[in-house]
Amino acid sequence: MAQASGRETPDWYGQGIGHVWLPYAQMKTSPPPLPVVRTMGSRIVLADGRELIDGIASWWTACHGYNHPHIREAVERQLALMPHVMFGGLAHEQALRLAQRLAAMLPGNLSRVFFCDSGSVAVEVALKMAVQYWINRGLPKRRKFISFKGAYHGDTMGAMSVSDLGAGMHARFADLLPEQLRAEFPATQEQMEAMESLLASRSDDLAGIIVEPLVQGAGGMIFHDTEVLRRLRMLADRYELLLIFDEIFTGFGRTGTMFACEAAEVSPDILTLSKALTGGTLPLAATIASTKVFDGFWSDDPHKALMHGPTFMANALACAAANASLDLFEREPRLEQVAGISAQLEEGLARCRGMSGVKDVRVKGAIGVVELDRIDDLSALRQRFLEMGVFIRPIEDIIYLTPAFTIPPDELDVLTKAVVSVVGANGR
Ligand code: PLP
């Protein structure tokens, strides 16, 4: 790994950096990570005293900004009481309250919450749930999923198998993964018809359809409209498939409504949540099943039980953080803030339209995207953002902003101006 910048780094950094393995990084050539000592609001404080305005909210998690006192107090209270107990044979208030609140917030009869500790595992659980649902109903051949080009559902084996392998990061594992069916995203009538023919020919071995509703996130921040989701629901019903919405990115306000499925008025059979569930403080995820799916497991036969159980499922600290995060959604005007951010992103990024090298500028909720024809040197671009005092990390040719919903307008202004400036220089 390249050396840290010439600035002073703390002892813990120099002593530990040679012992960690970083995500998605070629360890030999990647620029070293920045030593962070503190966060607050939308700011990240580095060891050398610099403050960066965060455009990403730590992979889309910190929706209330960092260090929100209400979440901190809830976690501290819970820590004093009980940080964790196993969820096998034991239950606790924070998890049960959270499950009840999520069920009340979600549409339709999504009413049974299975907790786990990361988004990828929530997707694994959703896939296992769907496959076992059909096994329990006497249709064991129904074990494949339709997923879409541009999809990203996580890095574990099942999640990779329903992600777009062509997108690069998972292609090398292609031979190892369960075989699934991948369709063009059905945004047009023609694509929808192509998907329907696929369903008609394969529905006997299909368990379900999995989709990121409204926004395909890590696969390129690709937006689609609510009508697609209504049509997917219709097709799932027609071919008796389970419809899975992966709302790990879109859940909790990011696209403008509390959940993307709400905007579409579509209720899936299974829904996954994580990321902003705890306001970005602790790892927690959930796979929520409809009563129809849950009833498929309800039996006197122990073999019909769902065979999954992560050690740290329903961790009490994480559930306390999630309950506190939901309090904030109830008490504070988060969705209005998202609408304000949306308008400001539209206005702030509009100057990128028509710039040389810009393919598209798009905004949905608190997501602002500038898609470029190409970025030749991603590291140099990231460095340029740092020099401007902002933390923005493009994915491939996509520069995007997904700030905390509480970001003050002047800080958001700094972010959009940095994007405009860097995009302008990139096109020259
Ligand atoms: N599903 C979606 C839609 C995601 O955006 C992500 C992560 O970016 C995941 C699943 C995987 O979540 P995790 O990184 O917590 O495993």
Can you tell me the mean pLDDT for 32-51? 97
pLDDT in tens, 311-340: 999 999 999 999 999 999 999 999 999 999
For residues 247 and 344, membership in a common domain is answered with: no
Ligand 1 centre and the CA of 24: distance in Å?
Answer: 14
Same domain, 114 and 128: yes
Query: Does one domain contain both 287 and 271?
Result: yes
Residue 19 lies in a domain: no
The answer to whether residues 289 and 346 belong to one domain is no
- Residue 11 belongs to a domain: no
C-beta of residue 192 within 8 angstroms of C-beta of residue 186 = yes
**Total tally of structural domains belonging to the chain:** 2
Structure tokens at 97: 């309250």
Asked if residue 351 and residue 308 are part of one domain, the reply reads: no
Same domain, 81 and 165: yes
Residue finishing a domain among 331, 362, 395: 331
Tell whether pTM > 0.95.
yes
* Alpha helices, DSSP H, located in 153-248: 157-161, 189-202, 226-238
Rounded CA gap, 275 and 130, in Å? 22
Going from the Cα of 138 to the center of ligand 1, the distance in angstroms, rounded, reads: 31
Listed as own residue / partner, the contacts of 341-346 with beta carbons closer than 8 Å and 24 or more positions apart are 341/365, 341/366, 341/403, 341/405, 341/407, 341/412, 342/256, 342/366, 344/409, 344/412, 344/413, 344/416, 345/401, 345/412, 345/416
What is the atom index within ligand 1 of the atom nearest the CA of 246? 3
Q: At 423, phi and psi to the nearest 5?
A: -65, -40
Residue 136: CB within 6 Å of ligand 1?
no
Claim to verify: residue 221 and residue 112 sit in the same structural domain: yes
183: in domain: yes
Asked if residue 157 belongs to a domain, the reply is yes
Looking at residues 260-267, what average pLDDT do you find? Answer: 97
Q: Which of 300, 331, 362 is the last residue of a domain?
A: 331
* Whether the Cβ atoms of residue 391 and residue 44 lie closer than 8 Å to each other: yes
Token pair belonging to 399 = 């520069």
- With both helix axes pointing from N to C terminus, report the angle between 378-387 and 409-427 in degrees, rounded to the nearest 10: 140
CATH number of 357's domain: 3.90.1150.10
- Residue 311 falls within a domain, yes or no? yes
Q: Are residues 326 and 383 in the same domain?
A: no
Looking at the fold, whether 147 and 39 belong to one and the same domain comes out as no
Q: Is residue 218 within 6 Å of ligand 1 at its C-beta?
A: yes
- Check pocket membership of 398 for ligand 1, CB cut-off 6 A: no
Q: Report CA(369)–ligand 1 centroid distance (Å).
A: 19
Per-residue pLDDT tens for 59-98? 999 999 999 999 999 999 999 999 999 999 999 999 999 9
The span from the CA of 341 to the CA of 325, in Å, is 19
**Sequential DSSP letters for 85-145:** --SSS---HHHHHHHHHHHHHSSTTEEEEEEESSHHHHHHHHHHHHHHHHHHTT-TT--EE
Strand, coil or helix: 389: coil
Over the stretch 399-409, which tens digit does the pLDDT of each residue have? 999 999 999 99
Question: Where among 301, 331, 361 does a domain terminate?
Answer: 331
Domain range enclosing 404: 34-64+334-427
Q: Is residue 27 part of a domain?
A: no
What CATH number does the domain containing 324 carry?
3.40.640.10
